[in-house]
Copies of this chain bind each other. A is one copy, B any other.
């Protein structure tokens, strides 16, 4: 039952499907208020911000998923299950987002979000390693990047720091996302890329 011959297209299509649903069910946490006033919308603001944060993080992971898969031609068992493990942790993002958004001043829910982010980051790194092992000479799927490792460490730090102040953890979540969004601050890493 080895996964040799699994074409990359179907793995991408399945991952795209799961990621698209993850993104969209997060929106279901925005419960419709029973009253029709601007004031009734105020409690939704932290939920909307939490949704925005997770939307951006999932979108970045989707973009990077593509970059890792780009040089891959066929998928072996290791890469397939590294992908599935990553999707598992990503599928918990809606839960973690909803929990954090509802209790954004309490350390435990923010730590839960940090735990899930750490596991998403680590499993993404494993996924990249699995792709790098399969296609070692490919430039885009370098087995380890400084950005990914430091992001995982920052996410890990966000867990205890939530008990200092949840805003420190929020700053980490937002900062890591911005680092991937902003155009190439790590130019020196990829000369000629």
Contact = CB atoms under 8 A, between A and B. Distances in A.
Interface of A: 1-3, 5-6, 10, 12-14, 16-25, 27-30, 32-34, 36-38, 40-41, 52, 55, 59, 62-64, 66-67, 70, 77, 80-81, 84, 87-88, 91-92, 94-95, 98-99, 102-103, 106, 108-109, 112, 140, 147, 180-181, 183-184, 193
Contact of A17 (B16, B64, B81): B16
Contacts of A10: 12, 16, 66
Interface SS majority for chain A = helix
Given A5-B140, A32-B95, 18 more contacts: A1-B63, A1-B67, A5-B70, A6-B66, A14-B16, A14-B62, A20-B21, A21-B25, A24-B25, A25-B28, A32-B98, A34-B102, A36-B106, A36-B108, A38-B108, A52-B88, A55-B88, A55-B91
A41 B5 CA distance: 41
A87 B106 CA distance: 30
A191 B19 CA distance: 38
Nearest 7 CB-CB pairings of A with B: A17-B20, A36-B106, A36-B103, A21-B24, A32-B98, A18-B20, A30-B95
A62 to B, nearest CB: 7
A184 B2 contact: yes
Contact of A91 (B24, B40, B77, B108): B24
